[in-house]
Amino acid sequence: MSTTIDHLEKAFSDAERKRRLYTALFLGATVFVMAGGFTIAEDMNSGGFIDGLSQFLDYPSDIVVESFEEGWTWWPMLLEFAPALIETINMAAVGTILGGVFALVLAFCSTRGLGVWPPLVPICRRMMDGARAFPELILALFLIFILGASPVPAIIAVAFHTAGALGKLFSEVNENIDRGPLEGLTATGATWFQRMRFGVLPQVLPNYTSYLLLRFEINIRASAILGFVGAGGIGAELRKAIGWSQGAETAALFMLLFAAIVAIDQASSYLRRRVTGDAAFQTA
């Protein structure tokens, strides 16, 4: 009897020791990577960390001071740059819509058991992986070279990346649906489109909408960044303002971008709660 307990105790303490060792190793590795990484980063950087820290607030305070010096004429700037912001939002919206359509097709093609030709499933999955791995920036730079500097390369780049990223999320939603309605519809002799329309779409649409809104928000940020490398919109204005050291304009653009991102963040999380909340109510 006592030998069993001894045995158990020994096994337990062994397991405990092993776990502690792993934890210690993990923590050690973390500390090592942090310390080593920061040393290397400090080496590679043109400015030092400690010096930089003291200058960190210089630039923000400079542009705030310049904005104050501008006085009342600062406010009309917000209005003046509004078209650029709208262009960026349009870029994101068109990119999200086009990417969403492709994502929808890819997601249905990459879900087993929806009556799609089976060999298509792995092909669509790899296509999504490829599209998702492509950073928007690379594709945008490429397209800017071919199509010239305009918002369209950014839209294509955003749509391409969105198709992969959303497609993966959509297909995960598809995997998790209840197959019951599909079987019921098959029993009534429904066509493929009818089965998708009445058996699948009502189940997945709330989650799709939620992911689409989230992606739209992400794409606004991406479009602003792509503007910075030549795709127009608020990013292009920002680049100009920073390049010419126009502090007041820079502050106005920062403000506008920040406000837009926060507003859309809030709006989309409100809408997402409503959409998925409704769905929960309906199924209950």
Partner 1 sequence: MTTTSSAAAQSAQAAQAARLSDSDIDARFADVMRASRRQRFWPIGLAIGTVLYLIYAWIAFDMTSLVQQSRMDRAAILALDSFAYKVHVTKDLRGDGAVSLSIEGARQGGFDEDPSWVQRRGDAVEVDLGDGYRVTLQDASLTLLAPGLEPIRARVGEDGAVSMTGPQPEWLKVNERRFEARPELFKRVRMTRTRIEVHRYFYGWENFWFDYSSPFYGMSLMQAWSYAGDAPQIEEGASNRALLLENIWRNQEWQHGEVFKALLETILMALLGTMVASLVGLPLAFAAASNFNRLTLVRIAIRRVFDFLRGIDNLIWSLIFIRAFGLGPLTGIMAIAFTDTGTLGKLYSEALENIDGRQVDGVKSTGASSLQRYRFGVIPQILPVFIAQSLYYLESNTRSATVIGALGAGGIGLKLVETLRTGQDWENTFYIILLTLAVVIAMDIFSGWLRRKLIKEG
Binding residues (CB under 8 A) for partner 1: these are 30, 33-34, 37-38, 40-42, 44-49, 52-53, 55-56, 58-60, 87, 90, 93-94, 97, 129, 133-138, 141-142, 145-148, 150-152, 155, 221, 224-225, 228-229, 235, 238, 242, 254, 257-258, 261-262, 265
Rounded to a whole number of angstroms, the minimum distance from the CB of residue 174 to partner 1 is 19
Rounded to a whole number of angstroms, the minimum distance from the CB of residue 54 to partner 1 is 8
Rounded to a whole number of angstroms, the minimum distance from the CB of residue 224 to partner 1 is 6
Does residue 255 contact residue 78 with C-beta atoms inside 8 Å? yes
Q: Burial, 36: exposed, middle or buried (Cβ in 10 Å; 0-12, 13-18, 19+)?
A: exposed
Does residue 127 contact residue 194 with C-beta atoms inside 8 Å? no
Single-letter amino acid code for the residue at 230: G
Does residue 170 contact residue 162 with C-beta atoms inside 8 Å? no
Does residue 103 contact residue 158 with C-beta atoms inside 8 Å? no
Q: Which is nearer to partner 1, 168 or 170 (CB)?
A: 168
Q: Which is nearer to partner 1, 61 or 179 (CB)?
A: 61
Q: Which is nearer to partner 1, 6 or 29 (CB)?
A: 29
In the chain, the largest separation of any two C-alpha atoms, in whole Å, equals 88
185 is written with which tokens? 């519809």
Q: Which is nearer to partner 1, 78 or 141 (CB)?
A: 141
Rounded to a whole number of angstroms, the minimum distance from the CB of residue 37 to partner 1 is 5
